[in-house]
Structure 1
Amino acid sequence: MIVDCHVNVYEDEQILPLFTASTPKARPGEFTLKANPDVVYEAMRDVDKAIVFSLRYKDSIGIDGDDEVTARAVAKYPDKLIGFAAVDPRRPDYMDLLVHAIEDLKLKGVKFGPIYNGVSLLDPRLEPVYEYLQRHNLPLTMHMGTTYGRNAPINYGRPLDVDTIAMRYPDLKMVMAHMGHPWYEECIVVARKQPNVYCEVSALYYRPWQFYNILICAQEYLITERDKIFWGTDFPFTQVGESIEGLRRINDQVEGTRLPRVAGETIERIIHSNPLEHWWHGGYPG
């Protein structure tokens, strides 16, 4: 089984000029900006399931998504897609929107980007979010790490804040996206320490030297043996095939050297990791 745990979905009209202008800085190479439900479904043809969410990052990178587009995508392709809500704690109605997304739209988790919304994980506005998710057995996946967006405060993406929240809410399942790059060591030690915290490798393969070091570090801290690391693309920034190939070829760059190798077992365990077994207490509720 292959599950893409990190897929963006939004309608074409939700792409703002800021996104078009700033995304060339996101990564080397060309990639599509389109991620409407039909485009996403086609892109996910080679995975069994995909977790999708629509970003509310209008002022930071120029995507003005909403939970309605996520719900429409899931309703159209229920065999493939699992929907998460997006939360922006700056909005006065953020808890009303969250309750609507979960209880009316039937979304199954939450995505939050502290750097993109300019709100630290330690901000008191997030306390009702944590309490609601813990009470309803819903996972929280978070953008952890840096960004190309000029308007986003990078310091809010440091993984050490996750350790604090995990201690306060021990039954809240938390997922650190992008291995917290470039602070991947912080991400790894927090995931090792906290039983309710996981991480994932989306949008990393195209920086192969950093990705290699992340995986070696994860092996050395033994979290690769404990179902702590999950696989994803961050579509549309990367595609399924290239993300899998990039992971499977991670050792190419150290051939002919005495540097350590990422174990084949580590690689395949990540590719075939299954968040549906781990991100909800008792497994995915369906």
Structure 2
Amino acid sequence: MVIDTHIHPALFAPICEDQERFRRRCDAMNYHLMKPSDMALLRKQYALADIGRVVLLPEDCSVESGMVEISNDEIAKLVALDAQFYIGMATVDPRRPDAVQELERAFAELGLAGLAVNTARLKMYPMDERLVPLYDLCRKYHKPIIFHAGFCLENNALAKYARPMEFEEVALRWPEVNLCLAHFGWPWVQETAALLLKYPNLYANTALMNFDGPYQLFPKVFKQDMGEYWLDHNLADKVMFGSDSPRIRPVRSKRGLDSVEMLPETREKIYWKNAMRFFGWEGQNK
């Protein structure tokens, strides 16, 4: 069984009924020439990769864009379709005057599983004082945070605000909160690896879609940019599978990672065990 920790549901048909809103969302998130996706077809695609649970990421840069790209309520609507399969994250633009109240509503009323933050789109560093109350709320509710880390393909985004080392102080100041650096912080994968080695609450995911395809990119990242045995010897407990769908189909991402040589116990941890621990689900059925 596989848990996909990184899916953007921007194209999920149930939240694409407003055509103008859909167009603006695709413009903001740089999903051009894409159409809404049928939910039954998506489930078949996930089954091809043995994916049994998926984590849905919202996005809110509304103070700049004038629109919440994927709202907490839309995420909750999708989770309600199958709460055993879909895990919904929350988000809020920290520049909103009601940011803390909205995130608390997402946790307390909507039951969302954690916080998603894209500092590259927000154009603020991870320790910006406007983000601190949101981190404190995650500590209060025992919710993890998934950060976009590294280069960002979305429009109006600057990678300097999401370089992995910029997240070190967050990991140090909130040790009770599990944090994930998405995309393995590419292209700064060695920075990400160093941070994973040091901070028990820090994780990364494999949502990589940059050059070539997964069969070429994953060996480059995990066997050349990093030492050949770093995954098995040092980072087996710190990496989670993520596809970065819809930029890449999950089955392609899964098969690409399947091609990377690693110990069977490391693969099992990456595909589902580490995500169970990250979300605090240990002891539950996978």
The normalised TM-score by structure 1 is 0.82
Q: 1:73 to 1:155 in 2, by over 3 A?
A: same
| Mapping 1:111-190, distance limit 5 Å | 111-190=116-195
Structure 1 residue 282, shift from structure 2 partner: 6.6
Q: In 1, Cα distance between the equivalents of 2:46 and 2:281?
A: 26
Structure 1 residue 284, shift from structure 2 partner: 8.0
Q: 1:236 to 1:17 in 2, by over 3 A?
A: same
**1:224 match: secondary structure:** coil
Structure 1 equivalent of residue 4 of structure 2: 4
Answer yes or no: is the 8 Å Cα contact 1:83–1:108 preserved in 2.
yes
| Mapping 1:196-215, distance limit 5 Å | 196-204=201-209, 206=213, 209-215=216-222
Q: Does 1:228 align with 2:238?
A: yes
Structure 1 residue 145, shift from structure 2 partner: 0.8
Q: Does 1:279 align with 2:278?
A: yes
Which range is displaced more, 197-206 or 75-84? 197-206
Which range is displaced more, 237-246 or 202-211? 202-211
Structure 1 residue 53, shift from structure 2 partner: 2.2
Structure 1 residue 35, shift from structure 2 partner: 5.5
Q: In 1, Cα distance between the equivalents of 2:146 and 2:89?
A: 9
CA deviations on 1:44-101 (whole Å, 9 max, x unpaired) are 34411111122224657x9711011110111111121111101211211111110111
Structure 1 residue 137, shift from structure 2 partner: 1.0
| Mapping 1:14-33, distance limit 5 Å | 14-17=21-24, 19-20=26-27, 23=30, 32-33=34-35
Where structure 2 has 5 or more consecutive residues not aligned to the other structure, the ranges are: none
CA RMSD for the aligned pairs? 3.0
**1:179 match: secondary structure:** helix
Where structure 1 has 5 or more consecutive residues not aligned to the other structure, the ranges are: 26-30, 251-261
Structure 1 residue 17, shift from structure 2 partner: 4.5
Structure 1 residue 33, shift from structure 2 partner: 4.9
Structure 1 residue 264, shift from structure 2 partner: 5.1
Paired residues in the alignment total: 268
CA deviations on 1:119-159 (whole Å, 9 max, x unpaired) are 21010111111111112110000100102334112101101
The normalised TM-score by structure 2 is 0.82
Answer yes or no: is the 8 Å Cα contact 1:2–1:272 preserved in 2.
yes
Structure 1 equivalent of residue 52 of structure 2: 48
Answer yes or no: is the 8 Å Cα contact 1:173–1:197 preserved in 2.
yes
Q: 1:266 to 1:32 in 2, by over 3 A?
A: farther
Answer yes or no: is the 8 Å Cα contact 1:37–1:73 preserved in 2.
no
Structure 2 equivalent of residue 85 of structure 1: 90
Answer yes or no: is the 8 Å Cα contact 2:163–2:185 preserved in 1.
yes
CA deviations on 1:193-235 (whole Å, 9 max, x unpaired) are 100000000134826555323212163373333x110001111
Structure 1 residue 34, shift from structure 2 partner: 3.2
**1:107 match: secondary structure:** coil
Which range is displaced more, 153-162 or 269-278? 269-278
Q: 1:15 to 1:242 in 2, by over 3 A?
A: same
Structure 1 equivalent of residue 106 of structure 2: 101
